[in-house]
Structure 1
């Protein structure tokens, strides 16, 4: 089993998601407002439990997986998760995604966590490209994608449902990073 690194940002702690986060993830997914734009077995307890367990236990490869998000000011409060995994869990492309419980909405947590995971993707893993498919009505997630430097690529389908496909490339990412001018 590959161990994922932990990360800290200005306001957040990101640690590999594990079974200790299981109940918090289940509760978050059962909130219809949270999963409004996401297909999944959220209303079937048996399927939902099996789906979540498999997503927690699978080995996605070196440096890939899910990170649980915790605010530094309330370290025991599960805010949600951010992922960097093979597209639709199978690849070959790598996708980034995020899901936060309602208490964390509108506070910049998704943007802050996703920025750190993109840094990991490009600078530590050496990926050339990261994608995100977002429901066309999920304007909040589209704004997060744009804030972390992703650009709209095309309209597409994900599981037969329309989506907006966003992409960030290594060169685009490097072009957005602050440069050390030596001053």
Structure 2
């Protein structure tokens, strides 16, 4: 019998999310298609706490909460020096394959259109991260280009702002 899809909500990251973030960053499988494994040590915990205490803006990181448990994060951040807004996400391994990334990212895309009036969103994917590419394609993102980001070759996906129906 298939398990029901978890209910996914978003909230800003908070101090209680640090253990979840440390667990993700120190998991080689989670970080295989990302910026690299980071040790779950006291120095990294302090870095995350300092980062969480920075003033919030309209963009940033949100916790992905599935059935009441934080299982990852989703973000809108500037894509390096491109002037574009990047959608990104990372989930704990036990949340993979449940649709959490797709539902969380869809909520943040809606936020970008409604709150930020963004003309488009982009996402970068390590070329062999097929699962992440599938999430983006489900959301309507299309492959745009190969480019260098974060010191390596990436596939860039783009999603233009949806057209709103003309008033009648």
TM-score (norm 1): 0.78
How far apart are residue 41 of structure 1 and its match?
Answer: 5.6
Q: Residue deviations 1:33-75, cap 9 Å, x none?
A: 00011114614746643553454333463x2111111112xx1
1:4 matched residue in structure 2? none
Task: Call closer, same or farther: CA 1:48–1:126 in 2, change over 3 Å.
Answer: same
* 2:134 counterpart (143, 154, 162): 143
Q: How many residues align?
A: 160
List alignment gaps of at least 5 residues for structure 1: 1-9
2:28 matched residue in structure 1? 32
How far apart are residue 124 of structure 1 and its match?
Answer: 2.0
Question: What is the root-mean-square deviation of aligned Cα atoms in Å?
Answer: 2.2
* 1:87 counterpart (79, 83, 103): 79
Task: Call closer, same or farther: CA 1:64–1:167 in 2, change over 3 Å.
Answer: same
How far apart are residue 79 of structure 1 and its match?
Answer: 1.1
Which protein has greater RCO, CA pairs closer than 8 Å, 6+ apart? 2
1:17 matched residue in structure 2? 13
List alignment gaps of at least 5 residues for structure 2: 1-5
2:123 matched residue in structure 1? 132
Residue 28 of structure 1 aligns to a residue whose secondary structure is helix
Runs of 4+ aligned residues of structure 1 deviating over 2 Å after TM superposition are 43-61
Conserved 8 A contact 1:41-1:48: no
Conserved 8 A contact 1:65-1:84: yes
